[in-house]
Structure 1
Amino acid sequence: MNEPKKLPDQTDEWQRLKAYTTARIALGRTGISIPLRESLQFKLAHAHAKDAVYSGLAISGLQDALQDLNVPICPVHSRAENRDIYLQRPDLGRLLCDESAQLLQNLNAPPADVCLIIADGLSASAVNTYAPPVVNMLVETARQAGYTLAPIVLVEQGRVAISDVIGHLLGSRLAIILIGERPGLSSFDSMGAYLTYAPQPGLTDERRNCLSNIRDQGLPPALAVSKLMWLIDSAFRLQLTGIALKDTDGSEADRLPIG
């Protein structure tokens, strides 16, 4: 008796990769289109991303979550008066409004090693979720390492470069801003961290180091704090941040050739 022919293996190799990523891969198809389920999930992801862009910074919630740190917390606002202006005028999100600048000056805070800044960016919902665990762990670890801390600043309608203005006003040696990143269709809750040594107005992004995708499905908060502490130690040792400071994931940092 002839044995029946074996059908070719129809296993989609992309299905294996879905276990390692939330990216939109191996969606399948129905005729020449993607299945209805995937189409609806795409629309839901788009809605989540849009909601993230228009989400607001939970000032009172963040203050409550950080109150045990015994660090002064100062809410401020950029020159972008509302969300629509913020999205249309990125330059205004990089500057403090006059009232907020005066408020920071009136704090008369002593110069400190590190200034921590929390800003809404393009996903306040990400910051509301991940800034509290990161800041709580980071403050404790930084204190154990002997670093002094400036008041924690909460910024509404803020962009990354506003950390230069704030760090300079507070006289801090290093500014760290935690900010909501531009949401994607598979990551609407991602937070970034930017470090700038010797912050002052007018600096450009090549003077900063960045940790991206801080969230449970990306760079978990505990690991993010470990990487941030390594960058902080390296920044003070080399007295710089940016393209001249390589993130070697905990191994000895080298200065890149300049010029």
Structure 2
Amino acid sequence: MKTVILIPARYASSRYPGKPLVPLKGATGAEKSLIQRSWEAAKQVKGADAVFVLTDDDRIREAAEGFGAQVLMTSDRARNGTERCAEGVAQLPEAPEVVVNLQGDAPLTPPWFVEALIAAMNNPEVQMATPVLKCDHETLSNFVSDRHAGRVGGTTAVMRRDKTAIYFSKEVLPYVGNLETPPEVWHHVGVYAYRPAALQAYMGWDEGPAERAEGLEQLRFLENGAPVTCVPVEAQGRVFWELNNPVDVARIESVLKKEGIA
């Protein structure tokens, strides 16, 4: 297999326990779990040879196998999705060339986001990459609203001119003083692509202070001097939002209805 998509999912989320099994109503009113909708989004990606759900919880395993997903059981020691992906790759009979980590809380991820990421990995110098999306007014308003309410919502990215990352944060960066004339803010899309060697290196590094403070796994690469390539993508009219807090359920269901996603 050249490219595999791995979907890490854990039950014991500190902010939203049981999140992968939260039901989400689609356009027809039918409910599917968050993990099923994330898996269905992954299955739409062109160029992926296989999709696996990674979990350490039997409830998630049973649910995923129930809708037809391949599941790899990982340990409860994995502190984030990247560590869980490293454990999952170790179980494959042969290491793929590219490993895609599609977060299990991002069912609105359009397939072209992931396809652009896979295309970026055709450059052999890129060891790890992640998509970024220029915030539209609605998304930026949601970011600012969440922070004013004391909620941690999505993540923003700050880049160099060559599109390598300077920093990622759960704060809105750069500072937004006025929503009428805001600066350019980039929404980090929770998808990653790695070379297997980059995953192995990651497992050899300790968690750093920035990663610990922000709770953002990709900062471990930056804290250890490993470049992270940001891949700008276009929304093409699709609203992208992750399920981080209970308030996001209504936001995601409204997009599923608008887009006619059953």
TM-score, normalised via structure 2 length = 0.32
Highest RCO, 1 vs 2 (Cα 8 Å, sep ≥ 6): 2
- Structure 1-normalised TM-score? 0.33
Higher helix content, 1 or 2 = 1
The structure richer in strand per residue is 2
Is the radius of gyration larger for structure 1 or structure 2? 1
